[in-house]
Chains A and B, each alone.
Chain A
Amino acid sequence: MAQAGKGRLNFRCPSCFMRDIDMDMFYDKEKGEYYCLRCQFHGTEEEVLEKNELARFRYKDMYRRFSFEEE
């Protein structure tokens, strides 16, 4: 089995991101998946992107534009 490398983009581990850790993932060409060196997360690019959307759950006002006029 050859060594892993970087994928198309430098994806972080979504599972670690959710616990405030930025962990670059590496790409296993043979399995066609990204995997985390720190935790057990592994998944395809599609799964990573899906989990990244999930990681935004806490940003309830991410799309909201506020006004800061005198309240």
Chain B
Amino acid sequence: MDQFILNIIHRPEMVPEYAEKVTGQGKAEDLGRKALLTESLDIFRTQQECAHKNGLKTTIQMTYASLFNDEAVALAKEHHDTYGDEIGLTLLGLPCEQFREKYKTKDFCIWMFSMEDKKAIVRDVFEKFHDCFGFYPESTGSYYLDADLINFIKAEYPSVKCAVATCWEEGPKAYHTCNNSWYTFMDGGPWAPWIPSKANTHAPAANEDEDSGIVAIPHLSRDLLACYDGNGSNFGTHPQNVLRGMIYDTKTWEYPYLYNLIDQYRSLARYNDGYAYNMMFVGPGWMNKMGRWEQPYELLLKSYEDGCAYYGKLKKEGKLTDMTMAEFADYYREKKSYTEPECALWRDILYGSDKQLFWYCDPYMRACVNMDQGGAIVDLRPYAAKLEWPVGIGTKHVQDASYPFLIQEKYRAGYFTHYAGEGTVRSAKLCRGGEEIDLCLCRTKAHFSREGKDRLLTLDPVDVVFEDGLTVTVQSVITFTEGSSEIRIDRRILSVSDPTQTVTIREYMVGCYGTTEYTEDMTSLTLGVDAGEQSAVIPYEYKCREAAAPDAGRVWCRIPPIKTEVSMRAEGLDAKGFVREGYAFSPMFTLGYEGTLKDKEVFSTWLRLERAD
């Protein structure tokens, strides 16, 4: 039977995010304002009540500030005893008078501090927690926890087994939404729980050696389509985020989208061996008595009550299991193996487009396949590199915690570009008599299946119609083989209107590397074609060069800044491998294979990701 697991997390945040900024507008900052402290605790109480009255247990994540508040500590103990809530410790909610006095900074995001400060803060907060409760917590978290920080926490406090460790696709988009003032750059991670590797939080561990020792959960369960393009903070299992997105009826105060989102997450059990997951974690600032943006307090409260009531209803119907974070970590370790992927065939539930995306995540890659673009891969993160990427003050990445991409269709154009050049995408073109038709323009639907270690995405066939009337019906099958670090794509010609005719197929990947919209220096990259005596190597100089060879065993690009090598190989008639160097206006590289296809034939390619250093 399918199991849908829910973690509800509440934090008594004595100075809620937004509350001081919003309710205190026009006043000098005062973190000790009595009204602020009282309201914060009231909100926490209300949130707890919403969960408990629906029969749901919570994980109470104490904040540093709340550990100085006897009432908050007493409340946590009482709820632990009465409702079985877990008492954990969050590294969010650091701001308070005591913290400012001690650390002399207004920084509050734990991953952005220097390593020295991270260690001091963790010890401080964990020991303070121990003073209050007499034990160390089993769960912790923040919006993001970098690998060095997780490794330190696990070494110092081995009781920790679960942590909130990233916020899905919260990166440049969130920064832009917040008028370029919200410095949380953490794109490129898993959307569902995973075991982080010791080297990089985003990249799941492939084995025990790589295991950081914790189970990570994402901050919220976010819409895998809406969040990829739009503001992530509008589309998650956070009722007030849905209000932030204005996705509700202003007359009736109803929001079917919230329930659709929860239900779509429930449906993901069919792709993940009967398991699905949701996480709801609303900071108290979102239930501010002053209201939040256009929404009055009454609507904020209603949405949270409704969210809890829906989860409670599912539980009563036997369709949901509520767990604390620590309980979930044990369940997850029991349920999942290291290499077992997380899969999600996601459909649009908001815009009416009927569009589908397929997300795949394992220790070697995260990939997104877009069925509205003929099954093109539109996002690709090479976890195989297990890239060490220290973040925080004193490192090269003070704020940028994103896992770099090779393909990102929103930041690097994808299929459509203006005037010249190519954007990043992995697709194919069918060519004939000077005509090139990209499968990106063939909208289709996908069907998921599993065969042993393979997860297959079989796309509905599409017709490619050439100007001379020749019609080729082609079907794409995309195979992710567990633990292989490869993506296989088969293009099957199901029919040709004139079976005596052939077409050329050009399988290609346009790639680059980066974490933002802006291009990086590509001059350390090297392109290559492996073809015996016809082998060629192109050191990147933006000179728009090309190399090709028939029967090439492999074409590749080595990307030292992200310690990654991406390569392709092919199987099919007249397979010719090629690589293309970019140029200044369009700096991306291209790897690919060309071949000949006729009726009933198949052309197969494999895209492989490896660490290279």
Chain A residues with a Cβ under 8 A of chain B: 5-6, 9-12, 17, 20-24, 38, 49, 52-53, 55-56, 58-68, 70
Contacts and interface: CB of A to CB of B under 8 A. Distances in A.
17 contacts: A10-B291, A10-B292, A10-B294, A12-B293, A17-B246, A22-B178, A38-B179, A49-B294, A58-B351, A59-B257, A60-B352, A61-B352, A62-B247, A63-B254, A66-B263, A67-B263, A70-B270
Given A65-B260, A66-B264, A59 B351 contact: yes
B219 interface: no
B349 A61 contact: yes
B434 interface: no
A65 B177 contact: no
B205 to A, nearest CB: 31
B263 A56 contact: no
B350 A23 contact: no
Interface in B225-282: 230-231, 244, 246-250, 254, 256-257, 259-260, 263-264, 266-267, 270
Contact of B259 (A21, A22, A65): A65
Nearest to A25: B293
Contacts, number: 86
A9 B177 contact: no
A53 B249 CA distance: 9
B176 A20 contact: yes
Interface in B176-199: 176-179
A36 B178 CA distance: 14
B22 interface: yes
Given A58-B351, A65-B260, 11 more contacts: A5-B25, A17-B246, A20-B230, A21-B179, A52-B250, A55-B246, A59-B350, A60-B351, A63-B249, A65-B256, A68-B264
Q: How many residues of B sit at the interface, in one of the four size bands?
A: 35 or more
Contact of A22 (B179, B352, B353): B179
A66 to B, nearest CB: 5
Q: Which of A49, A60, A66 has the most CB of B within 10 A?
A: A66
B436 to A, nearest CB: 32
Contacts of A55: 246
Contacts of B353: 60
A18 to B, nearest CB: 10
Given A20-B230, A62-B257, A63-B249, A9 B293 contact: yes
B173 interface: yes
B460 interface: no
A63 B256 contact: yes
A22 B241 CA distance: 12
Given A11-B294, A56-B246, A65-B256, A5 B26 contact: yes
Contacts of B348: 61
A63 B267 CA distance: 20
Given A6-B25, A9-B291, A21-B179, A59 B230 contact: no
Contacts of B247: 56, 59, 62
A69 B199 CA distance: 39
Interface in B88-132: none
A55 B291 CA distance: 20
B14 to A, nearest CB: 22
B1 to A, nearest CB: 14
Nearest to B256: A65
B394 interface: no
Contacts of A21: 176-177, 179
Contacts of A20: 173, 176-177, 230-231
A62 B267 CA distance: 20
Interface in B347-383: 348-353
Contact of A10 (B230, B231, B293): B293
B178 A12 contact: no
Nearest to A48: B294
A60 B290 CA distance: 31
A23 B179 contact: yes
Q: Which of A53, A59, A67, A70 has the most CB of B within 10 A?
A: A59
Nearest to B180: A21
A12 to B, nearest CB: 5
Contacts of B267: 68
